[in-house]
Amino acid sequence: MSTLKADTIQNTSGGAATLTKQAALKAHIQLDQETGTIADSLNQSAITDDSDGSTRFNYTNNMADANYSVTASAGNVDTNTTWIRNVILFSDNSGSYKNAPTTSNFYMQCLDNAGNLDDFPYVCHQVAGDLA
């Protein structure tokens, strides 16, 4: 087996090297939305509590454009009677259900089984796309 040891990989022009038919996530997080505590994250600065069940996620390093992909899930303990009915991307507490993501942040809301916005102890997202 050959092993290449390097600290930094760039292309020959000093830009992003190509990973063959693969791409790395550019951000992810596990957030306790109830306390605002970030358990672990990549490329996330402090989150903004928009209201119950509504959070703005801010990037440390901006994305190159707003065309990135976000997937997300949420949950809590099995014994809790409140469970996640839907995670709504790009929606905020202003009443706008179409708050487009920007290069520096995006909004996400958690809807419980009663149809109310609600904080959950496990809120996760993963972002793929181009970094600035």
Task: Answer yes or no: are the C-beta atoms of 48 and 96 closer than 8 Å.
Answer: no
Please identify which residue in 67, 94, 116, 132 interacts with other proteins, judged by CB under 8 A. 132
d(CA 19, CA 50): 37
Please identify which residue in 33, 50, 57, 74 interacts with other proteins, judged by CB under 8 A. 74
Q: Does the protein bind other proteins through residue 69 (CB under 8 A)?
A: no
**Which of helix, strand or coil describes residue 91?**
coil
d(CA 110, CA 112): 7
Closer to other proteins by Cβ: residue 89 or 94: 89
Cα 14 to Cα 8, 9, 17, 18, 26: the distances in Å are 10, 9, 8, 12, 19
Closer to other proteins by Cβ: residue 94 or 128: 128
Q: Does the protein bind other proteins through residue 21 (CB under 8 A)?
A: no
Q: Does the protein bind other proteins through residue 75 (CB under 8 A)?
A: yes
Q: Does the protein bind other proteins through residue 121 (CB under 8 A)?
A: yes
Neighbouring C-alpha atoms within 13 Å toward the C-beta of 84: 20
Binding site for other proteins (CB under 8 A): 1-12, 14-17, 24-26, 28-30, 39-43, 61-62, 64, 71-79, 83-86, 113, 121-122, 124-126, 130-132
